[in-house]
Structure 1
């Protein structure tokens, strides 16, 4: 339900593995096989993955797997607000209207109740980061990404 709420009308596929939180390195082969299987059955226009510099080992591991498996695709690596304060220096921005920024915050609160108890998981943190990223790209709000690899076809 969360994926459909965030991306209405998009053709999305979700794969959820039963890996214990914080233990991806111990389950590397299982995670790698799942990502490789996903790559074999899909030809996505866009791949979203965590940043490879993310402080959380599961996020870092997934980022590396996705970037490797989808090496010929547009992979945008997103930021995750959390305790670690490991936000990076993004290279790509998507300006957001105030309505879209507010909707994102509302959907995060609505669809991820398991995170609500965390002090950093609140409206101010999400809108604050969106505001900072907006400043960086001359917009009110923005979503920011690192670009793993970008192949352009500018003609000629």
Structure 2
């Protein structure tokens, strides 16, 4: 596989529609970034769950997935499943979040996600982070909306196992869903690993980017 490499990261933004989206989509990547970049600043933005049990789960989960990182949270109270009806407050919330950080890379849901909340957030993020590298992550669920990714981030088996373990530990409110189990998360990361000639991986979509070719 041909590799693209970034320079050292100091700040990233991670955005989700619901508490657990970020952990599902890039929990392994966060574990590896936090290990590789000490004192990484992670700015998290979530549309729904403010002042609820779900917010508590989210804060504990991201703290476990970002050991040693400086975490900052913005969690709104948009009703789950009704994001399109709250376009104005979501756009305003995103604009305020954008002014609070200057990330090296932005992670958000991918544009082809079948869930209306995820899809709306995916569509709005590039209108706010206009000059940033935006990578779209996938959220495993029952809808058949699995994307055709263009970017893969390799994970070790240990990291893939730890991600799955932490998801089950920190999101007890979600374990009643028939798709929310360690086997499912581990299976997806193994599939993405096969596709990128790695053991495990997380996959992302990329709408556009520029590239600079080095000189010999």
Tell me, yes or no, whether TM beats 0.5. yes
Q: In the alignment, is residue 96 of structure 1 matched against residue 151 of structure 2?
A: no
Unaligned runs of 5+ in 1: none
Q: How does 1:1-156 map to 2 (within 5 A)?
A: 1-155=60-214
Q: CA RMSD in A?
A: 1.4
Name the TM-score, length of structure 2 as normaliser: 0.69
Contact in 2 for aligned 1:67/1:75 (Cα 8 Å) = yes
Shift of 1:155: 4.8
Contact 1:67/1:148, CA 8 A, preserved across alignment: no
Deviations 1:78-115 (A, max 9, x none): 00000102101000001111100000001111121221
Give 1:150 deviation, angstroms. Answer: 2.4
- Report SS of the residue matched to 1:14: strand
Number of residue-to-residue matches in the alignment: 156
Residue 13 of structure 1 aligns to a residue in which SS?
strand
Q: 2:132 & 2:71 partners in 1: Cα distance?
A: 16
Q: Which ranges in structure 2 are unaligned for 5 or more consecutive residues?
A: 1-59
- 1:42-90 Cα distance to aligned partner (Å, 9 max, x none): 1011211011110000000111111221121111110000010210100
The TM-score, its normalising length taken from structure 1, stands at 0.94
Does structure 2 conserve the Cα–Cα contact (< 8 Å) formed by 1:74 and 1:148?
A: no
Cα distance in 2 between the residues matched to 1:97 and 1:155: 29
Partner Cα separation in structure 2 for residue 90 and residue 74 of structure 1: 15
